[in-house]
Amino acid sequence: MEVAVEAAGLVKTYRGRSGTVEAVRGVDLRVDAGEIFGFLGPNGAGKSTTVRMLTTLLSITAGTAVVAGLDVAREPDGVRRRIGVALQEAGLDARQTGRELLVLQGRLFDLSASEAAGRAQELLELVELTEAADRRIKSYSGGMKRRLDLASALVHEPQVLFLDEPTTGLDPASRVTVWDEVRRINERGATVFLTTQYLEEADQLCDRLAIIDGGRIVREGTPASLKAGLRERLGLAREATLDDVFLDATGRARTHVAGEVQEVKA
């Protein structure tokens, strides 16, 4: 099986005023071509830092990463040509129109002006934004921005698509629309590397997943194998859920995660 993403001993440390912070402490990962791979973890676990290293946006302190067949540290431009990136908080230029943004993205990937215009139209149709194409992005809803962000990551038909929490903050209907888009993109041949905090999302979409906590991978496998493994290990009478797997892997109790409900009196 061809490998789309492979990381070995990936480490990221930051030096701040309060000392050195180890955000990622030796991550080993392997994502096969054609997979939808889920990368889960609590806030601050190192998900986004790992994605930013794999997408060339952050330098690697130690370890190696190969994405789409190229070493991330040695050939960052080559990697950039083969990957698509949609980061947290849909990073878009609100003063441009959707069409202008996609055309610009195409031009930055060396498409000619007419090729970029044609590709922008195709993508606008794909994510159903043709009617809003010539409106400024600042007038778009959260769901529309996410879809446009996805489209902009697809301009150059990447081999590997990195999606960092693509549905955070979206309403349930918009979330399902994004899931459909992700499946469609995957069916067209792209490997999808997806970080999410929503376990249902990972269960619905991912062929395999890894859970990171404290900068280290603590579980890895298919959703079914992880759930079956937990049920067997704990001797549960019922089917385990991905929530159970996540809570077990990250050492968090359900009550702790849910928080306490307190009555507030006026």
Segment 117 to 136, residues that bind another protein, using CB under 8 A: 136
Nearer to another protein, 197 or 204 (CB): 197
Contacts of residue 136, Cβ cutoff 8 Å, sequence gap at least 6: 94, 95, 96, 97
DSSP label at residue 69:
T
Cα distance between residue 186 and residue 133, in whole Å:
24
- Burial tier of 107 (Cβ tally within 10 Å: 0-12, 13-18, 19+): middle
Measured in whole angstroms, how far is the alpha carbon of residue 77 from the centre of its chain?
20
Closest CA to 154 of 79, 54, 85, 92: 85
- Burial tier of 64 (Cβ tally within 10 Å: 0-12, 13-18, 19+): middle
Q: Is 105 in the site for another protein (CB under 8 A)?
A: yes
Q: Which stretch binds another protein (CB under 8 A): 28-36, 87-95, 215-223, 238-246?
A: 87-95
Q: Are 65 and 53 in contact (CB under 8 A)?
A: yes
Q: Using DSSP bridges, classify how beta strands 70-71 and 62-67 pair: parallel, antiparallel or unpaired.
A: antiparallel
Taking CB under 8 A as the criterion, the residue among 8, 21, 62, 94 binding another protein is 94
The nearest distance, CB 27 to another protein, in angstroms, is 17
Both tokens assigned to 242:
């991905």
Nearer to another protein, 109 or 198 (CB): 109
The nearest distance, CB 254 to another protein, in angstroms, is 33
The nearest distance, CB 156 to another protein, in angstroms, is 8
Q: Is 224 in the site for another protein (CB under 8 A)?
A: no
Taking CB under 8 A as the criterion, the residue among 64, 96, 121, 168 binding another protein is 96
Taking CB under 8 A as the criterion, the residue among 8, 21, 62, 108 binding another protein is 108
Cα distance between residue 17 and residue 162, in whole Å:
31
Segment 6 to 65, residues that bind another protein, using CB under 8 A: 55-59
Q: Is 3 in the site for another protein (CB under 8 A)?
A: no
Nearer to another protein, 146 or 227 (CB): 146
Residues in contact with another protein by CB under 8 A are 55-59, 77-78, 80-81, 83, 85, 87-96, 100, 104-105, 107-110, 136, 152
